[in-house]
Homo-oligomer: A and B are copies of this chain.
Amino acid sequence: MKSYRKELWFETSTRIAFINITSRVKEALRESGINEGLCLVSPMHITASVFINDNESGLHRDYERWLEEKVPHDPSLYEHNRTGEENGDAHIKRQLMGREVVIAVTGGSLDFGPWEEVFYGEFDGCRKKRVLIKIIGE
């Protein structure tokens, strides 16, 4: 069994952001030399998500609007913010969008349907954060 590990770094200029990381995950898979296996992509932070969906900016604005409506940023609403943080909402938003994705690796490629792309979802940006790619297989 082989395994491969890589970190991606991000620092977004907005509190909420969605970044297409598909090509960087594919690059990591090529570097790994793994043909058959599983690829885990997960944020190393608890106010961010990695998710798979459509590479369409209108949809990303829909995500942001829906999340903001159901989980408003207003720092006064969250007990968590009594610790001095202002990101209580981001911890809930990340749960709703999910933490990680696990992707099948087949014949040396990400085994995707026609529209699947991988995104880093940031809900408490403007600081340095990391995504972990871990691939196992052979």
Contacts and interface: CB of A to CB of B under 8 A. Distances in A.
B106 A134 contact: yes
A88 B54 CA distance: 10
Interface string A6-46: 00000000000000000000000000000011101011111
Copies in the complex: 3
Chain A interface SS verdict (over half): mixed
Interface of A: 1, 3, 5, 36-38, 40, 42-46, 51-54, 56, 58-59, 61-63, 66, 70-71, 78-83, 88, 91-92, 94-104, 106, 111-116, 130, 132, 134, 136-138
Shortest beta-carbon contacts, A-B, top 4:
A44-B113, A58-B79, A104-B134, A59-B80
11 contacts: A1-B137, A1-B138, A3-B36, A3-B106, A5-B106, A38-B134, A51-B99, A62-B91, A70-B70, A99-B101, A100-B101
